[in-house]
Amino acid sequence: MTQVDVLAVFAHPDDLELSVGGTMLKLKSLGYRTGAIDVTRGEMGTRGTVEGRAKEAEEAAKILKLDVRENLGLPDGHVFVNEEARREMARAFRGLKPRVVLTHQLGDSHPDHDHIAQIVRECARLAAMKNYDFETGEEKIPPPIIAHDIFSRRIQPSFVVDVSEFHAQKMDAIKAHASQFFDPDSTEPETMLTGKRYFDDIASRSRYYGTLINAEYGEPFYVREALNVDDPFALLTRPMNFYS
């Protein structure tokens, strides 16, 4: 596996793009190595096929400029906090060695999302334990810090990332998953994602969080642990961003 600085771990092939696509693009522009793990292949989805969604994920990865995108292949709709899932996630962490992991928020209404958030938290520690799953020969890693995306539940963000410069590319990455979104020529059933206004809803969400930091577009995150700040003055006096 390719070692990365930042790893996005999300349930289905389009969740990353919808949730943290702008942040991943920004981190890449800052020189960090970025990667993604799709935990399932999205086979429970109403639209598209496993093969088609895999190709869409590859195309979106190119737009996001990811250094690596892997799929754990756990069963869509049946991801649980069990030993199989923990073992696969811990092995992925040891292989990719991320310092930061972005993932779903805890308590998300989709059970896969909620369970994955918990699995990620547990495996950040398990991957750092020398004797956990030691038969693979993989070395333990320092536990990465976990930042949870805020998407389905309204909570106070720990921080908001200004993604204004990368909003258009984020939307292009979302649209790369063409089978899942608005298509006037599609004969497949409608879903909550396929309405004509859904892209506007995603943009509106980003605009709202942008207003909290006086930016055009923002992506919010919640961190459960206390953050270690070297220079609180620099943090607290950082100029606000204004619309161009």
pLDDT of residue 196: 85
Q: Of 193, 104, 115, give the one whose Cα is nearest residue 155.
A: 104
- Name beta bridge partners: 8: 36, 102
* Distance separating alpha carbons of residues 60 and 130, to the nearest angstrom: 35
Distance of CA 156 to CAs 15, 116, 148, 149, 159, Å?
A: 21, 21, 12, 11, 9
pTM exceeding 0.95:
no
Q: Which backbone phi and psi does 39 adopt, to 5 degrees?
A: -75, -35
pLDDT of residue 35: 98
- End-to-end C-alpha distance for the chain, whole angstroms: 40
pLDDT tens, per residue, the chain with 244 residues? 689 999 999 999 999 999 999 999 999 999 999 999 999 999 988 888 999 999 999 999 999 999 999 999 999 999 999 999 999 999 999 999 999 999 999 999 999 999 999 999 999 999 999 889 867 667 899 999 999 999 988 899 999 999 999 999 999 999 999 998 888 888 888 888 888 899 999 999 999 999 999 999 999 999 999 999 999 998 888 766 554 4
pLDDT of residue 118: 98
What does the DSSP 8-state code read for residue 65?
T
At a CB cut-off of 8 Å and minimum separation 6, what does 171 contact?
199, 202, 203
The tokens of 203 are what?
Answer: 């943009």
Pairing of strands 218-222, 145-149: antiparallel
pLDDT of residue 73: 97
pLDDT of residue 244: 44
- Return the number of other C-beta atoms located less than 10 Å from residue 148's C-beta: 25
* Distance separating alpha carbons of residues 36 and 142, to the nearest angstrom: 19
Q: Which backbone phi and psi does 186 adopt, to 5 degrees?
A: -75, 140
- Return the number of other C-beta atoms located less than 10 Å from residue 76's C-beta: 18
* Distance separating alpha carbons of residues 225 and 244, to the nearest angstrom: 34
From the DSSP assignment, how many helices (H) and strands (E) are in the chain?
7, 7
* Distance separating alpha carbons of residues 194 and 171, to the nearest angstrom: 15
CATH number of 6-236: 3.40.50.10320
pLDDT of residue 241: 53
